[in-house]
A = this chain, B = another copy of it.
C-alpha cells in the first residue's frame, strides 16, 4: 500500500491571471460571459484544454475562474465549473458560497452545466448560474451532458437557484467549431 495515492494538486495555467487582469470591468451578464468566452478561446488557442470556461463573479469582480483541464491534468472531473467553484471556495475559505456574509455570487459558464456540475452548483451554495451554449450545441459537437433532465433544473430552481441559459449562445457555440478546427480531442 506504499503506493496508495493520497495527494492531489492542480493549477490553472499562468496566462490566466494576466488574461483576467487585462479584461475590462464586466457590468452585466453579457460582459461577464464575454470574459468567460475569451478565457475558453485563449485556452483552445493554446491547446490548454477543452472548449469550456467558467467564472464566479461578485457583481463586476472576478472571484475565481476555471477552464476545462480534463486532458492536460488527466482528470475527468476538472470541468471549468468544478475548478471555478473549488477556487472560489478556496478564496472565501468556505464550502458554502451562499453563506450569510458573502456577497451575492453568480457562476457564468460558457456552456450549460453537465450533470456533475449541476450537482456541484447545488452543493456549492450558488444562487445564480448563467450559461452560454446550450446542451444541444455541446452534444452536436460530441460532448455528452450526462443525466440532466428538465426535472434536474426544476430541482435546483426549487432550492432558490436562478438558472439562465443561452446568453451569447452564438459566440459560445463558436468555441466548439474552433476546437474541432484545431483538431481538439472530443473525449
Contacts and interface: CB of A to CB of B under 8 A. Distances in A.
A9 B6 CA distance: 11
A146 B122 contact: yes
A14 B53 CA distance: 34
A75 to B, nearest CB: 5
Given A16-B6, A20-B1, A152-B147, A85 B90 contact: no
A75 B96 contact: no
A151 B151 CA distance: 10
Given A146-B155, A147-B155, A76 B125 contact: yes
A71 interface: yes
A117 to B, nearest CB: 7
B1 A11 contact: no
Contacts of A83: 8
Given A93-B74, A120-B77, A147-B118, A8 B9 contact: yes
A181 interface: no
A125 to B, nearest CB: 7
B6 A11 contact: yes
A89 interface: yes
Interface in A1-38: 1-12, 14, 16-18, 20-21
23 contacts: A1-B20, A4-B62, A4-B65, A5-B90, A5-B91, A6-B12, A6-B14, A6-B17, A8-B86, A74-B89, A74-B95, A76-B123, A76-B124, A77-B85, A114-B123, A115-B115, A115-B116, A115-B119, A116-B120, A118-B119, A122-B144, A122-B146, A147-B156
